[in-house]
Amino acid sequence: MKIKFTQHARERIKKSGVRMGYLIKEVSCIKNIEGKIRWMTEKGVLVLLKVSENLIIVKTFISKQRYRGKGHKYYQGCEVY
């Protein structure tokens, strides 16, 4: 099964500091995806879209922790969904 990330998802993942390999491993473990779903991981929420039998597109990634300022430093104060 192929897993592709949109440009928007790549930007969000980069800002949040999560490894792409971690998310690919999470998505590959999901069974029986039908249509569009939201999948909660330990680090945030993924929005997935099953295009065909062999292709899953990750539309966006929503991190649990917020960042502030230009340095994109995360703080543990609140969780975001």
Indicate the length of the chain as a whole number: 81
Q: What angle do CA 22, 24, 28 make, to 5 degrees?
A: 120
DSSP for residue 72:
T
For residue 81, what pLDDT is reported? 47
Sign of CA dihedral 6, 16, 81, 30: positive
- pLDDT (tens digit per residue) in 2-57: 999 999 999 888 888 888 999 999 999 988 888 999 999 888 899 999 999 899 99
pTM score of the predicted model: 0.73
What type of residue sits at position 28?
S
Domains and CATH numbers, the chain: 2-79 (3.30.2310)
For residue 67, what pLDDT is reported? 59
